[in-house]
Amino acid sequence: MSEKDFIHGGDIYTEGLLKGRALIDFSSNINPKGVPESFKKHINEGFQMIERYPDIKYRSLKKDLIYYNEKYFNLKLRSEDIVLGNGASEIIDMILSYLKTVVLPVPSFSEYGLSIEKWGGNVIYSKLNEDMDYDYLDILEKLKEADGLVMGNPNNPNGGVIEEEKFISILDYCENNGKIVVIDEAFIEMNGYDGSLITLIENYKSLFIIRALTKFFGVPGIRMGYGITRNKKVLKYIIERQNPWNINSFAELCTHYVLYDEEYIKDSIKWVEEEREYFTGELSKIPIIDKVYKTRANYCLCKLKDMKDEELYNYCLDKGVLIRRASNFKGLDNKYVRFAIKSRELNNILLNILKDIPNKKVLEK
């Protein structure tokens, strides 16, 4: 299956809403706590804000991002270090349009390959090892023929994080040879705010970090993302190609309140740590699952035993549950699926469905 055939998770419309069905969505990796009350309580302020254009320089919004990154990631950002995007997808698209040949470890978020292809770039693939860890030596070797690299931290679909000690040689090489390193940290909060590479931007102009509110704060419809770098040339390139007012008033309002919502942040970290341990542990006991890969995110990649992803997808769909077939991630085949990690109640619904499968005649060969 080609990159063009890729289907995102979270498509509750095709088999759900457009057919009048309510589905439990395990294909989309969104915080099940939902939209923070801190935003809901102040949403009426947005109706006042939409009567005027947003600040074209987004000065207050950038101050909120500076506060957040200093408090939770121990980095004192400057306003000029930040470029705003209509979701992380805009930032991904813009930064990858800057690069002509890109090293791309796979499997990974398919938007990377789609953006590179759209802008006429070339991709050099580096395959993750059997444990779905990055092959740092292979990446370093392939960078000799590229002008950039893009990696997820945590990576999607497996949830693995970058090992800084092994990665630093790659960063040194790129810094010394004028190459750009793009690190997508859209899920970094799901790792308890650990493992971010963001403080390295102080010493590496080659480093470009991507962030989003979507996943951790449960607001995919808001479309709020941003990039962080000290590379003035890259920032200038992106900003010159963006439309003005690319962040709407409600996205700005949402950002202002949720980044200061300490209770929501604390509760969300507690949830993901507890449910990740419970859910992955229970999945490992299920007969149809051959392997559950280690994850530091709010989703997990599983390899199936004697079963294809399409079979499991259809079976779960019949039960009102939407899962993510992973065969259209480059580097994976039809033996892989990805599950989001949700609340204990919802996790148990999926677990019970999966546990019951060996007794179902419909799946017998």
Q: Mean of the pLDDT values across residues 64-90?
A: 97
pLDDT at residue 5 in the model: 45
pLDDT at residue 4 in the model: 42
Asked whether the beta carbons of 208 and 183 are under 8 A apart, the reply is: yes
CA distance 89 to 107: 18
9-13, 61-65, 94-98, 265-269: least confident range: 9-13
CA distance 57 to 75: 22
- For residue 9, pLDDT over 90 is answered with no
Q: Mean of the pLDDT values across residues 265-280?
A: 98
Question: 225 pLDDT band (50/70/90 cuts)?
Answer: very high
- For residue 21, pLDDT over 90 is answered with no
pLDDT in tens, 119-164: 999 999 999 999 999 999 999 999 999 999 999 999 999 999 999 9
- For residue 362, pLDDT over 90 is answered with no
pLDDT at residue 13 in the model: 45
Asked whether the beta carbons of 323 and 27 are under 8 A apart, the reply is: yes
Whether the model clears a pTM of 0.85, i.e. scores above it, the answer is yes
pLDDT at residue 365 in the model: 44
| Residue at token pair 């994080």 | 161
DSSP 76-105: ---GGGEEEESSHHHHHHHHHHT-SEEEEE
Q: Mean of the pLDDT values across residues 72-79?
A: 96
Provide, rounded to the nearest whole percent, the portion of the chain with pLDDT above 90. Answer: 90
pLDDT at residue 121 in the model: 97
**DSSP state, residue 53:** P
pLDDT at residue 14 in the model: 53
- For residue 6, pLDDT over 50 is answered with no
> Which tokens belong to 295?
């994850």
**CA dist list (Å): 41 to 31, 37, 254:** 19, 6, 10
Provide, rounded to the nearest whole percent, the portion of the chain with pLDDT above 70. Answer: 92
Maximum pairwise Cα distance, the chain? 63
pLDDT in tens, 329-343: 999 999 999 999 999
pLDDT at residue 7 in the model: 52
pLDDT in tens, 162-173: 999 999 999 999
Q: Closest by alpha carbon to 330, among 163, 125, 151, 153?
A: 125
Residue 187 vs residue 17, higher pLDDT: 187
pLDDT in tens, 23-74: 899 999 999 999 999 999 999 999 999 999 999 999 999 999 999 999 999 9
pLDDT at residue 20 in the model: 52
pLDDT at residue 3 in the model: 40
Asked whether the beta carbons of 158 and 132 are under 8 A apart, the reply is: yes
- For residue 273, pLDDT over 70 is answered with yes
pLDDT at residue 22 in the model: 72
